[in-house]
């Protein structure tokens, strides 16, 4: 949580502006008709870049990367995580679903 205190956010602002400029660049390219570019994907990449920089001090720059490894993992991770959080019993500890095995296989050891 220390990464989100006002002083830290103020200090991070120039880096956040750089990430926002990358997003604007992606949208300029997308408006030129590059196939496969979708604004929702760009916003997800912007979020990953902004949060990684703010919370972890790491510049991952997914906006200028054609790799979508982080997004692929997040689309399977978040639904599984939400399911676990909302479960009345931790059944995944005894019975692993295909989604559980996929998330666990993708997790760093």
Q: CA 38 → CA 28, 50, 53, distances in Å?
A: 12, 19, 23
Task: Find the domain containing 85 and state its range.
Answer: 69-106
Is residue 63 assigned to a domain? Answer: no
Q: Per-residue pLDDT tens for 38-80?
A: 777 888 888 888 888 877 777 888 888 877 677 666 776 778 7
Q: What is the pLDDT of residue 1?
A: 61
Give yes or no: residues 90 and 51 share one domain.
no
Give the pLDDT confidence score for residue 36 in this predicted structure.
Answer: 59
- Boundary residue ending a domain (32, 56, 80): 56
What is the distance between the alpha carbons of residues 28 and 60, in angstroms, rounded to a whole number? 21
The structure's pTM equals 0.59
For residue 103, pLDDT beyond 80? no
């Amino acid at each position: 949580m220390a990464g989100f205190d006002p002083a830290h956010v103020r200090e991070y602002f120039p880096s956040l502006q750089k990430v926002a400029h990358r997003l604007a660049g992606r949208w300029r390219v997308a408006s030129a008709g590059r196939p496969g570019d979708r604004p929702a994907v760009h916003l997800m990449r912007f979020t990953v870049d902004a949060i990684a920089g703010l919370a972890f001090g790491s510049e991952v720059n997914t906006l200028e990367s054609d790799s979508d490894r982080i997004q692929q993992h997040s689309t399977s991770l978040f639904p599984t995580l939400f399911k676990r959080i909302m479960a009345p019993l931790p059944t995944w500890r005894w019975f692993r679903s295909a989604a559980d095995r996929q998330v666990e296989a993708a997790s760093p050891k």
